[in-house]
Every structure is written in structure tokens, then in C-alpha cells.
Structure 1
Amino acid sequence: MGLFADLRDSISAVTAKLFAGESEDPKRIGIYGPPNAGKTTLANRIARDWTGDAVGPESHIPHETRRARRKENVEIERDGHTVSIDIVDTPGVTTKVDYEEFLDHDMEKEEAVRRSREATEGVAEAMHWLREDVDGVIYVLDSTTDPFTQVNTMLIGIIESRDLPVLILANKTDLEDSNVQRIRNAFPQHETIELSALEGDNMDEVYDHIAEKFG
């Protein structure tokens, strides 16, 4: 009887995990937005808060993230409930990558051309992830700049067409020129959460919404 009892207990344990949702794979959450919106800063903030590790280097140079980077099994706990996600930090999406942007940061022309080529490939990779491989989107916007651009409108449209859950974040509220209301006005169909990923301001609310949206 001992063997059957052990088997019964094992089956019960597996069944309990299935109904508890523990066997589900982590959802892939893409962090999207234009260049220099603070996507990697946010990805690193989330990763460090919950795993102790960073996702990648942060920089003021545009298109510094030229390949999608993934941090797996980030477990966010809110109100006793754990949400497991894979963070995908994507390159900033833009309609044109000009090598002259890099020349402004004291790079030689050859290096600037190489970086612009890699950045263009990174934009294509980010679009592939968005169309095929993510289960939800955190869309990061710089609250000091005008959010109503062709790229932002296009990306939000793609997200909506795929019926992906999306959380819009108005970043850089620590800066004097921050204007969160402009972002709310640009995309009134989605709730906008303000934060400073650099300073860590309002991250508790961000985590609450991540758990609600993607849990």
C-alpha cells in the first residue's frame, strides 16, 4: 500500500501545482519604446529588484541596445501572489538610423557606420519579437518629449492588433520638463503610469500593475 500511497501523493502534488499555475512558462514581456526612453534603465531596475542582476549596460548614447536582451524567470511578488516573467529589453524603434547620430558622440566614422548598421538590424529584430514572440508589452516613453509620433502610433497599433496586454509608462518624471499628461492625452485608451526608472520613484505602483496585467 505504501507504493500506491506515494504515487497518489505525487499525483496530488502535481495536480495542485497545475491548478496553482506554477507549471506555466513565464510570460515573455517585451520592453518597447523609442530610443533613449529609458527602457534598459527600467529593465535593469526590475531585474535588480527581483534577481539582483542587471540586464545590460545603460547609456545616454542613442541605440546603445542594438540586440534584444532577455532576463529569464523574474519573479515579482505582490500581495502574496508571484508573477513569473521573462523580460525582453528591445532596441529603440525608429524609422531611420543615421550614422551621424553617433558622430555627435565623438566616434570615428567607421565605428559610427557599424553601429548604425547594427542598430538598424536591432530595430528589425525588435519588430520580429513584437509580431511573433512576446506575450505582453511594457511601453516606455520619455515624459519630457512629445509622445505623438509616427513610430509610437504605429507600435501601439501593432500591439492592439495582436490584442497584447500593454502597460504604458511615462518615464523620467524626475526631470524638470516632465509632462505625463501629454502621454495620457496621446493614448487615452490605455492607462499611463508615471515613474522614474533611474531614481526608482513609483516602482511599487509599476509592480502592482505588472502583476495585474501579466499575472
Structure 2
Amino acid sequence: MVHTLLCTRDAGGAGAHMMGLITSLKDSVSRVTDRLFATEEPKRIGIYGPPNAGKTTLANRIARDWTGDAIGPESHVPHETRRARRKEGVDIERNGKSVTIDIVDTPGVTTKVDYKEFLDHDMEKDDAIRRSREATEGVAEAMHWLREDVDGVIYVLDSTTDPFTQVNTMLIGIIESRELPVLIFANKTDLEDSDVQRVADAFPDHETVPLSALEGNNMDEVYDKIAEYFA
């Protein structure tokens, strides 16, 4: 009888010990899981705008400033960016706010790509036709990203040109319909014909930030706004 009671007590103690180990293990797994899922995924920020607005120049400057690496080649030839390029894990910290973004540098969006544009840049006709075909495919890819895959938009406009275009109005409308946060950057303020107010007047419902991506002018405000809008 005594022996039976001792065995029962030993079994009970072992069971309690095992339950304690299981509970401790569950707590450890729970803490690890909480840490893993507490970290938000980087936000995909698409850089959009018409051809030659300076999108890749801006994307490269942001990437270099915060990661040391560029995203892609810059060129005065239109439609140099013919496929969306992505730089992941760009950590921006400004004024106590921080945001991790994946920069998506997209091809310039236009209603029509004419191969004759490339002939003006000393390209052979066959090369120009190939480039125009690739650029057209790039526009389609940029639109897919905008409709499906970005969490916010940096919209880059050349402040020396008229912003009131069909393409700009259409893209801003799509951005608004998706309720995406958007910053409008009036680029190329280093040029004499720059008119930032004309850009601001074109899209008064959105904040316009002046800058020169080429010269690096006003990048402090650019980073302040990125951290504020996309955090």
C-alpha cells in the first residue's frame, strides 16, 4: 500500500514536471513568434512619372544615401529604364521616425512609345524599334505594379515642363482610387526654367516637394517627408 502510494506520488511529480516543461516551451515559441511577426514587412514604394523626369536619378540618390548602392543606369535617352528595378531594405530614419522601404524604380509611363524618338539619339532603326518595343512592355509592367503591388508612390515630375498631361492625370487618379499615400516631387529645380508652383497648382490635393535629384538639393526635406508619409 505504501509502495503504491509512493509510486503514484512519483508519477504525479514527473507529470507535473513534464507539464511545466511543455508550458515553458510553448511560452518560448510564442515569444519568438511574436518577435518575428511584430516586424512589419518593408513597404513597396513605387517611383512613378513620365519619361526623363529624373526617376532613376532620384532612386539612385536615395539608395546611395542609405545603402551605398545604386539601382540602375541613368541616361538622357528616353525610356532607359525598361523594366522595374527594386532595391530592398532601405532604412530611412528622420526626426525620430523610421521606415523601411523597398524602392521600385519603374519605367516612364506614356501613352505611346515611338521608335523615332530613339533615332534622334544616333540609334539604328532596328535598335530603335527594339527599344520602343521594350519600352512599351515596360509601361505595361509599371501599370501592373501600380494596380497590384505598391504600398505608396513617389511621383516625380520635371518642373521645367507642363504637368497638365493626360498621363499624369490618369496616374494620379489611379493612385487616388487605390488610396495610396503619395508624394509629388518637383524635380530639376537646378534648371533655369523650373516652376515648382506650376506643379503644385496642377495637383493641389497632394503635397509637392521641390528638389534636384541630380544636384542633391533639398534632400533633407525629401527624407523628412518619406519618413512622415510612409512610416
Q: Same fold (TM over 0.5)?
A: yes
Write the distance in 2 (CA, Å) between the matches of 1:81 and 1:9. Answer: 30
Normalised to the residue count of structure 1, the TM-score between the two structures is: 0.93
> Where does residue 69 of structure 2 map in the other structure?
53
Gaps of 5+ in 2: 1-16
**Paired letter, 1:68:** A
> Where does residue 200 of structure 1 map in the other structure?
216
Stretches of 4+ moved more than 4 A in 1?
A: 3-14
User: Which residue of the other structure, out of 95, 98, 105, is the alignment partner of 2:111?
Assistant: 95
1:70 aligns with 2:90: no
Deviations 1:77-119 (A, max 9, x none): 1123321000000000000100000000000000000000000
User: Which residue of the other structure, out of 117, 122, 140, is the alignment partner of 1:124?
Assistant: 140
Write the distance in 2 (CA, Å) between the matches of 1:15 and 1:212. Answer: 26
1:169 aligns with 2:182: no
1:189 CA drift (Å): 0.6
1:37 CA drift (Å): 0.2
User: Which residue of the other structure, out of 31, 40, 43, is the alignment partner of 2:56?
Assistant: 40
Write the distance in 2 (CA, Å) between the matches of 1:5 and 1:76. Answer: 38
**Paired letter, 2:98:** T
> Where does residue 125 of structure 2 map in the other structure?
109
Aligned length: 212
Name whichever structure is richer in helix by fraction: 2
Deviations 1:122-156 (A, max 9, x none): 00000000011111100000000000000000000
- Map of 1:110-189 to 2, 5 A cutoff? 110-189=126-205
Normalised to the residue count of structure 2, the TM-score between the two structures is: 0.86
- Tell me the secondary structure at the aligned position of residue 123 of structure 1: helix
From the CA coordinates, give the structure whose radius of gyration is larger. Answer: 2
- Tell me the secondary structure at the aligned position of residue 162 of structure 2: coil
Structure 1 vs Structure 2: percent identity of aligned residues? 79
CA RMSD of aligned residues (A): 1.8
- Tell me the secondary structure at the aligned position of residue 87 of structure 1: strand
